[in-house]
């Protein structure tokens, strides 16, 4: 029997990056099936098409893949490409979708959220360009979840995900592919592997890459160890685990503590980490943390060191809460610089229309038009290529960058698991006041302008409203507030602060101290402490 009766299940609205829920929610009868069928129903055609499927290896990945295979067979897909062991990092999935023209792909991941039977799972759909489904596509999928009455699922023998090769179920060819080969080939086409190898094997340079027990391990081993000659021990936590070893696979100073400690105690020249699904990156120099906003700006400024970008960039883009360091580079290089809402899905149109080459977000996401997802290992290779080609250290490059452009101090404060109603009310209250704020002062700083960010896609004119409240102060400081769209319990309030310091000013301050006046002004204006009942944020990045 392939036809199964079902009824809509509430709450299947995708957030910033797909549908994320607790594993237990996904394990409810028909929950995954309803969502997958809704994805298929939202496509103009499935019959005979090719679909890519893979995930970050977290708990429930393998079961979910078998369900998706059985459903794709019943829905008449012509071919399924699946990563060996069910593994495909998010950027690798994007690469495979583009390389083997597909109608799209399904990526199973809750990214940096923890994994395990009591933790998180997620599913997202990427379109034929390899990028996250656009807002209009996710809306169609969501509408399908509200009216679904049946799903199609074939009664078939499970596929052995551990063996590469081809098999057939019904009329569908199922190809299990090496998870890393296509991605590695793409990286080889972009970077100067010889120069990086010379740097890494030269004897002086010491690095460590922390895969955080997540999906990037096999990719990092192949590229950094096998191809670039780094020692085995320089890639740590390289085995993907279903529960990420019990940690948050989130590359920041808090969660990548092991890496931070190694870089410090072993005096390493370079450290890097990526997240659960391999699309984020954190980069460290020797005793030197590089903020993702600065990393993006620096990579854009130094991109001519990298063979694939030596001829110049088409343009650049950043998400709105990301600091404006990138804009300064764009102005100097005379490049267009776009400001998009949070989430990678907004960059796809700009890349497809050849308006941008590099883009990024403050949340440790950096990428280029080589795929349509952010790409952690790609960003690490950009840094290594620039280090190799310039002969400078990461810290020296960053300092020289500030000395040329000035420094945009940036921090993000997250308040996790706050009462959803209280958080919504706080933002509503602020929204109601926005128009009257200009000219008034808080903790001694005057507001210049305040609004709610709305984005009109320059390519297809789609409008996305309600993308964050922003307050610009007369001293150049900026505060942005928005609620997270990737959490699975309660609400997470994100407050972003940035303040420009000119090249002639103080360039070596601690960001939390440099931003203290702005943080106080925001609290006086919004009442964050009073309304959340929290004295301090849960996570500071
Ligand atoms: C967060 C980040 C956002 C990122 C998204 C997905 O979203 O802020 O910049 O694109 O996660 O990243 P939110 O809505 O929680 O702020 V990932 O690595 O989870 O695919
Ligand atoms: Co991710």
**Ligand in nearest proximity to the CA of 275:** 2
Distance 510 CA to ligand 1 centre (A): 25
Query: Which of 360, 390, 405 is the C-terminal boundary of a domain?
Result: 405
Cα 292 from Cα 62, distance rounded (Å): 32
Residue 487 binned pLDDT confidence (cut-offs 50, 70, 90)? confident
**Ligand in nearest proximity to the CA of 360:** 1
Ligand 1 in contact with 153 (CB < 6 A)?
A: no
Distance 429 CA to ligand 2 centre (A): 32
Query: Which of 160, 179, 198 is the C-terminal boundary of a domain?
Result: 179
Ligand 1 in contact with 17 (CB < 6 A)?
A: yes
**311 and 418 share a domain?**
no
Q: Per residue in 389-428, pLDDT tens?
A: 999 999 999 999 999 999 999 999 999 988 888 899 999 9
Overall average pLDDT of the 456-468 stretch? 94
C-alpha pair distances (Å), 129 with each of 118, 149, 349, 372: 34, 30, 9, 7
Nearby residues of 24 by Cβ (< 8 Å), 6 or more positions away: 117, 118
* Mutual angle of helices 394-405 and 325-333, in 10-degree steps: 70
Count up the domains in the chain and report the number.
3
Q: What are the beta bridge partners of residue 199?
A: none
Q: Which residue owns the Cα nearest ligand 1 atom 2?
A: 363
User: Which pLDDT score, from 0 to 100, does residue 533 have?
Assistant: 83
Ranges of beta strands (E only) in 56-206 are 79-87, 104-108, 120-126, 150-152, 165-169, 172-177
Ligand 1 in contact with 344 (CB < 6 A)?
A: yes
Residue 1 binned pLDDT confidence (cut-offs 50, 70, 90)? low
Q: Which residue owns the Cα nearest ligand 1 atom 11?
A: 486
Distance 207 CA to ligand 1 centre (A): 27
Q: Which residue owns the Cα nearest ligand 1 atom 19?
A: 111
How many Å separate Cα 324 from the centre of its chain? 19
Overall average pLDDT of the 348-367 stretch? 97
Ligand 1 atom closest to the CA of 362, numbered from 1: 9
**139 and 236 share a domain?**
no
b vs e for 480-510, b when ≥16 Cβ sit within 10 Å of the residue's Cβ? bbbbbebbbeebbbbbbbbbbbeeeeebeee
Q: Is the pLDDT of residue 433 over 90?
A: yes
- The set of catalytic residues is 111
Distance 331 CA to ligand 2 centre (A): 29
Q: Name the helix (H) or strand (E) containing 262.
A: helix 257-265
**Segments forming the whole domain that contains residue 424:** 407-540
Ligand 1 in contact with 363 (CB < 6 A)?
A: yes
**294 and 234 share a domain?**
yes
**207 and 290 share a domain?**
yes
Give me 147's structure tokens.
Answer: 């009216």
Ligand 1 in contact with 116 (CB < 6 A)?
A: no
User: Which pLDDT score, from 0 to 100, does residue 528 have?
Assistant: 85
Give me 225's structure tokens.
Answer: 């160890």
Query: Which of 142, 164, 179 is the C-terminal boundary of a domain?
Result: 179
Nearby residues of 373 by Cβ (< 8 Å), 6 or more positions away: 90, 91, 93, 94, 126, 130, 131, 132, 279, 344, 367
Give me 214's structure tokens.
Answer: 């997540």
Let me know: does 301 contact 402? Beta carbons within 8 Å.
Answer: no
Counted residue by residue, the chain has a size of 541
Ligand 1 in contact with 280 (CB < 6 A)?
A: yes
Cα 354 from Cα 488, distance rounded (Å): 35
Q: Which residue owns the Cα nearest ligand 1 atom 5?
A: 343
Let me know: does 285 contact 269? Beta carbons within 8 Å.
Answer: yes
Ligand 1 atom closest to the CA of 124, numbered from 1: 20
Let me know: does 477 contact 498? Beta carbons within 8 Å.
Answer: yes
Percent of the chain with pLDDT over 90: 91
Residue 86 binned pLDDT confidence (cut-offs 50, 70, 90)? very high
Ligand 1 in contact with 295 (CB < 6 A)?
A: no
Ligand 1 in contact with 484 (CB < 6 A)?
A: yes
Q: Is the pLDDT of residue 489 over 80?
A: no
**198 and 315 share a domain?**
yes
Distance 50 CA to ligand 2 centre (A): 24
Distance 16 CA to ligand 1 centre (A): 6
Cα 486 from Cα 407, distance rounded (Å): 30
**147 and 237 share a domain?**
no
**209 and 293 share a domain?**
yes
**22 and 156 share a domain?**
yes
Give me 232's structure tokens.
Answer: 């085995």
C-alpha pair distances (Å), 530 with each of 275, 491, 497, 534: 33, 16, 19, 7
Let me know: does 386 contact 309? Beta carbons within 8 Å.
Answer: no
Provide φ and ψ at 204, rounded to 5°: -95, -35
**372 and 416 share a domain?**
no
Candidates 121, 123, 363, 366: which one to mutate for ligand 1, based on the most atoms within 8 Å of Cβ? 363
Q: Which residue owns the Cα nearest ligand 1 atom 8?
A: 363
Q: Which residue owns the Cα nearest ligand 1 atom 10?
A: 343
Given the structure tokens 């920041």, which residue do they identify? 252
**391 and 418 share a domain?**
no
Q: Per residue in 148-205, pLDDT tens?
A: 999 999 999 999 999 999 999 999 999 999 999 999 999 999 999 999 999 999 988 9
Domain at 324, CATH number: 3.40.120.10
Domain at 470, CATH number: 3.30.310.50
Cα 433 from Cα 453, distance rounded (Å): 15
**359 and 435 share a domain?**
no
Candidates 342, 378, 412: which one to mutate for ligand 1, based on the most atoms within 8 Å of Cβ? 342
10 Å Cβ neighbour count for 538? 14
Q: Per residue in 259-311, pLDDT tens?
A: 999 999 999 999 999 999 999 999 999 999 999 999 999 999 999 999 999 99
Provide φ and ψ at 385, rounded to 5°: -65, -40
Phi/psi class of residue 444: alpha, beta or left (left: φ > 0; alpha: ψ in -120 to 50)?
left
Give me 195's structure tokens.
Answer: 């120069």
Ligand 1 in contact with 16 (CB < 6 A)?
A: yes
Cα 242 from Cα 249, distance rounded (Å): 11
**271 and 225 share a domain?**
yes
Q: Is the pLDDT of residue 134 over 70?
A: yes
Ligand 1 in contact with 457 (CB < 6 A)?
A: no
Distance 250 CA to ligand 2 centre (A): 8
Ranges of beta strands (E only) in 303-444 are 316-319, 337-340, 358-361, 365-368, 407-418, 441-442
Overall average pLDDT of the 418-441 stretch? 92
Q: Is the pLDDT of residue 461 over 80?
A: yes
């Amino acid at each position: 029997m392939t036809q199964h009766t079902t009824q809509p299940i509430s709450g299947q609205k995708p957030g910033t990056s797909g549908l994320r829920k607790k594993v237990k929610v996904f394990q409810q009868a028909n929950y995954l099936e309803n969502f997958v069928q809704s994805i298929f129903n939202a496509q103009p055609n499935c019959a005979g098409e090719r679909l890519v499927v893979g995930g970050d290896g977290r708990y429930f990945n393998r079961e979910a893949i078998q369900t998706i295979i059985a459903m794709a067979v019943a829905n008449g897909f012509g071919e399924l490409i699946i990563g060996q062991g069910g593994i495909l990092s998010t950027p690798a999935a994007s690469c495979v979708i583009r390389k083997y023209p597909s109608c799209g792909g399904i990526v199973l991941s809750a990214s940096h959220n923890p994994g395990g039977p009591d933790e998180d799972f997620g599913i997202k759909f990427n379109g034929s360009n390899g990028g996250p489904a656009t807002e209009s596509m996710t809306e169609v999928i969501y509408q399908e979840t509200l009216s679904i009455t049946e799903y199609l699922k074939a009664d078939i023998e499970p596929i052995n995900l551990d063996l590469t090769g081809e098999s057939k179920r019904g009329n569908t060819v199922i190809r299990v592919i090496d998870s890393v080969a296509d991605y590695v080939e793409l990286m080889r086409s972009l970077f100067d592997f010889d120069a990086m190898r010379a740097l890494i094997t030269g004897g002086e340079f010491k690095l460590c890459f922390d895969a955080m027990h997540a999906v990037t391990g096999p990719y990092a081993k192949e590229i950094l160890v096998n191809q670039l000659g780094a020692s085995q021990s320089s890639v740590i936590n390289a085995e993907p685990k279903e529960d990420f070893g019990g940690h948050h696979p989130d590359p920041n100073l808090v969660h990548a503590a092991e890496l931070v400690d190694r870089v410090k105690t072993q005096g390493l020249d370079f450290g890097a980490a990526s997240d659960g699904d391999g699309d984020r990156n954190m980069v460290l120099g020797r005793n030197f943390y590089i903020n993702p906003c600065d990393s993006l700006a620096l990579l854009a400024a130094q991109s001519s060191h990298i063979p694939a970008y030596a001829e110049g960039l088409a343009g650049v883009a950043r998400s709105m809460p990301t600091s404006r360091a990138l804009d300064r580079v764009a102005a100097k290089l005379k490049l267009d610089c776009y400001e998009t809402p949070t989430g990678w899905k907004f960059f796809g149109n700009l890349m497809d229309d050849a308006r941008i080459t590099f883009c990024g977000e403050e949340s440790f996401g950096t990428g280029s038009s080589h795929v349509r997802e952010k790409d952690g290992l790609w960003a690490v290779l950009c840094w290594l290529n620039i280090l190799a080609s310039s002969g400078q250290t990461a810290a020296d490059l960053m300092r020289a960058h500030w000395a040329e452009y000035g420094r945009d101090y940036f921090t993000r404060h997250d308040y996790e698991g706050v009462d959803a109603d209280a958080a919504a009310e706080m933002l509503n209250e602020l929204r109601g006041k926005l128009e009257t704020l200009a000219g008034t002062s808080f903790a001694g700083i005057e507001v210049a302008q305040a609004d709610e960010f709305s984005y009109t896609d320059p390519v297809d004119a789609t409008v996305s409203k309600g993308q964050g409240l922003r307050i610009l102060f007369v001293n150049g400081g900026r505060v942005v507030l928005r609620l997270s769209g990737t959490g699975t319990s309660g609400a997470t309030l994100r407050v972003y602060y940035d303040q420009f310091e000119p090249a002639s000013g103080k360039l070596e301050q601690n960001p939390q101290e440099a931003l203290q006046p702005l943080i106080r002004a925001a609290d006086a204006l919004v009442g964050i402490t009073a309304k959340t009942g929290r004295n301090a944020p849960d996570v500071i990045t």
